[in-house]
A and B are shown apart, each in its own frame.
Chain A
């Protein structure tokens, strides 16, 4: 495809990744965070890439994932069509998308936990400068337990129902650090207390089914943070909770992550919670990132018509018609050949159907150089 710029077809080998650091286009790919927190963080950490041009903590480039789907299906499902995303040290990034946009699958790919039948078609995922997409299961298991953590929509998915909550958190601590049983228990209780669980000493001895929804999600957060991760991926952490609780839990997640100077990748369908939690955001649609950049700028002045329509659909309307996007989210079979949003887009024309628009820097006077958009009309 002629419209593809260099960074879309970047080689996925490890050398390729290192070479990329010098590549100005790839540089732009980083959602740069110049906050003092991020810098201080880098100096503290014994990072082998310290001398490099500050590689992002997590970089996903041109990630495509498909389902082989047996012999008979001629058009295998291809839910991820080249995702580009990066998370800087110490930053909080929101990945927003509707159901079927591929946001959760992106998280699974990063964690090395793709569902059965899914396979990586191309692309790379680098974490702390190291390519992890093809890494061994053993290596990924080590990574998942330590520097990379995830929490799910259903907190009960990450907690073992037949072990006490405190017991399993203590166990995780013991696996990763050389501490005595007693000390690990105390640390677990401490963690639960930090997560705002009242009476943590007693609650640590309870099982997860004795916890209410909000408490269980707090415990799941304690579990995820118990191994001191560098990056926490929170996959719809508050979707199952009531509105008044969502806020409490979200604030807790953000506060605890930033207190530990870790990074957060918040995956959500709810564009409304983004502004309160993250500095950076990326909007996904049909397996591609449509737009990314600082939250204020993206929400305040969306460059991609999809983002604009989504924000409008979300807006409060006094008695009257609400905005909606006509049509339905496409089911992706095989590689895209045009902008996936073209069928529903109010601005679409012939140009949009000539190829898949690459995620490029927005440029011009609209916003900072961190802004990227995948739209030929922007």
Chain B
């Protein structure tokens, strides 16, 4: 199934899940997420240059001028947290989106076709999942690290790797959600109407699993952000001086014991709030709470 088909499916499901949409839109977690996204989109236009040297004194505590203080280079941490939001959310959403676009149709097909195709996909995803996600991402990055140096390329590279380690999650999730639907009477009814597998997948199966997949999507964006932050924290992610939450936490961690807590705490809080919000939203989608 191509991406275009998926978009059509999403659009179709949009109609049938309008009520779900309304329910989500009313959630406080949604409002917080909307604010975070808004900040990531337009926030950077209103703050200082995150990489502007000597914007202020080195390691000054939070003040009226520098709301979140400055780091050792005198960078404005507030500006950096806002700028990093754009990067982290971009990586998070794109990685999760790629994982969904590949993982969901594969999982659905595996469930519908069964047999060897199903077993093969399952074994592959099991072997990928046998490693802790972070460890796997670390391994791949470390192996290919030196070849990708340019910042833009490096970010694309990170997105792809984080997507890759998340594909098995969607594959298995979609497969398990689709299995009962494939054997349900309403799918049999469509088969009695002579509908082909792909048409059934598109019109009957996928709309019925979207809710589960969307919930997972939200969680996965959070995971992706966490993985990126963790990679950066151990020095495998985005290099300095690019603003990225994980890298900033790493940078600031060593100052915390000397009392300069703000360097690590503010980017850490940004990760916490974003991840928590995304998880709350996932609960909302899944349980309608």
CB–CB under 8 A between A and B in the complex? no
B residues sitting closer than 8 Å to A (CB atoms) are none
A residues sitting closer than 8 Å to B (CB atoms) are none
